């Protein structure tokens, strides 16, 4: 049986680390695309040369064009300008909308049946751009948001309580930014509600740190934004889809209710398949 093909567009920190995680999990053969001459080829070769050590047989190919992406099952879009200290995700809107539009137009030609996973910021808006330009069914266009936000929330709770992150189950809905809503009532530590374990004031502080999680890392790095945790979130989503795990995962998606009301993109819980 042939392996799945996963394309990652944008070979910067997020894209390259995503390609590495996907290959190491053997989720499929990986195509790494970037407009910078020879850069994706070099990073792909570097990832491929770690295969004998980490023991995976996924192929990793770097390219500056889209021909190699033909027939991709999943396309991850990380292209765009990264945030700098003091910038909000929305400050990137105009520039990254143009970049994502061009990328999606190319993807539609080579991988018309692919599932699109958007990582570019501002994520909610870029997911809408991808949906509008591709005209793919809404279940095939999703943004990576809730998985990353929930991971940050779980991390901060684990730090507060000094427990394993594996004992913490949490969901974060809403937009990828100030409008995100960590569901404290439904967040548990070994089955016990976090509201019973952490004071209201401390929990509110953790919720706010979760909302500011990306900005905190940008301010510390000075010259870039987060990429380890975002790439891990993409890999988890891709694994859920490829293995048909029927896993409830919060993603950015298009939601329509009733006949007359059309809702914008937001974090919504559902099966990533």
Q: Could you state, in order of their start, the residue ranges of all structural domains in the chain?
A: 5-144
pLDDT > 70 fraction of the chain, expressed in percent and rounded? 90
Residues 17-36 have a mean pLDDT of: 98
Burial category of 258 from C-beta neighbours within 10 Å (exposed 0-12, middle 13-18, buried 19 and up): exposed
Burial category of 64 from C-beta neighbours within 10 Å (exposed 0-12, middle 13-18, buried 19 and up): middle
Q: Which CATH class is domain 5-144?
A: alpha beta
256 bridge partner residues? 262
- Cis upstream peptide for 122 (omega within 30°): yes
* Confidence label for 90 from pLDDT (cuts 50, 70 and 90): low
| CA dist., res. 273 & res. 253, Å (int) | 13
DSSP state of 163: -
Sign, CA torsion 208/209/213/219? positive
Selection from 53, 79, 96, 68 nearest residue 6 by Cα:
68
Highest mean pLDDT among 48-57, 167-176, 177-186, 244-253: 48-57
Whole-number pLDDT of residue 179 = 83
Four-CA torsion 206, 212, 217, 218, nearest 10 degrees? -170
**pLDDT tens for each residue of 119-169:** 998 899 999 999 999 999 999 999 998 999 999 999 999 999 999 999 999
- pTM for the predicted model, two decimal places: 0.90
Is residue 23 classed as helix, strand or coil in its secondary structure? helix
Residues 207-211 have a mean pLDDT of: 96
* Confidence label for 249 from pLDDT (cuts 50, 70 and 90): confident
Pairing of β 115-118 and β 60-63: unpaired
* Confidence label for 5 from pLDDT (cuts 50, 70 and 90): very high
| Per-residue pLDDT at 259 exceeds 60 | no
| CA dist., res. 104 & res. 41, Å (int) | 21
Whole-number pLDDT of residue 206 = 97
pLDDT averaged over every residue in the chain: 90
**Is 139 known to be catalytic?**
no
Whole-number pLDDT of residue 89 = 61
| Per-residue pLDDT at 36 exceeds 90 | yes
| Per-residue pLDDT at 107 exceeds 70 | yes
* Confidence label for 87 from pLDDT (cuts 50, 70 and 90): low
Please answer whether residues 74 and 144 qualify as being in contact, where contact means their C-beta atoms are separated by less than 8 angstroms: no
Selection from 47, 92, 38, 35 nearest residue 214 by Cα:
92
Whole-number pLDDT of residue 262 = 37
Q: Which of 131, 139, 169, 176 is catalytic?
A: 176
Beta strands in the chain (DSSP E): 5-9, 29-33, 60-63, 74-77, 115-118, 141-143, 168-169, 172-173, 181-182, 188-189, 192-193, 248-253, 256-257, 261-262, 266-271
Please answer whether residues 250 and 145 qualify as being in contact, where contact means their C-beta atoms are separated by less than 8 angstroms: yes
């Amino acid at each position: 049986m042939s392996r799945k093909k996963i394309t990652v567009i944008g070979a910067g920190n997020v894209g390259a680390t995503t390609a590495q995680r996907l290959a190491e999990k053997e989720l499929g053969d990986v195509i790494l695309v970037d407009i910078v001459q020879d850069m994706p080829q070099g990073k792909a070769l570097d990832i491929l040369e770690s295969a004998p050590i980490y023991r995976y047989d996924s192929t990793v190919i770097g390219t500056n064009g889209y021909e190699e992406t033909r027939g991709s099952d999943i396309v991850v879009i990380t292209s765009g300008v990264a945030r700098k200290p003091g910038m909000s995700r929305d400050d990137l809107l105009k520039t990254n909308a143009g970049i994502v539009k061009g990328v999606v137009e190319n993807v539609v030609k080579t991988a018309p049946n692919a599932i699109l996973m958007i990582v570019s910021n501002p994520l909610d808006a870029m997911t809408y751009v991808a949906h509008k330009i591709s005209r793919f069914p809404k279940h095939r266009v999703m943004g990576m948001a809730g998985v990353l936000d929930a991971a940050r929330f779980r991390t901060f709770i684990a730090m507060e309580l000094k427990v394993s992150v594996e004992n913490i189950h949490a969901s974060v809905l809403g937009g990828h930014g100030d409008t995100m809503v960590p569901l404290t009532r439904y967040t548990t530590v070994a089955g016990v509600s976090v509201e019973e374990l952490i004071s209201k004031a401390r929990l509110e502080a953790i919720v706010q740190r979760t909302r500011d999680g990306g900005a905190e890392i940008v301010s510390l790095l000075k010259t870039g934004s987060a990429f380890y945790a975002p790439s891990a979130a993409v890999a988890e989503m891709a694994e859920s889809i490829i293995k048909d795990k029927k896993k409830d995962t919060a993603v950015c998606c298009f939601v329509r209710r009733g006949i007359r009301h059309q809702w914008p993109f937001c974090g919504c819980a559902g099966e990533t398949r």
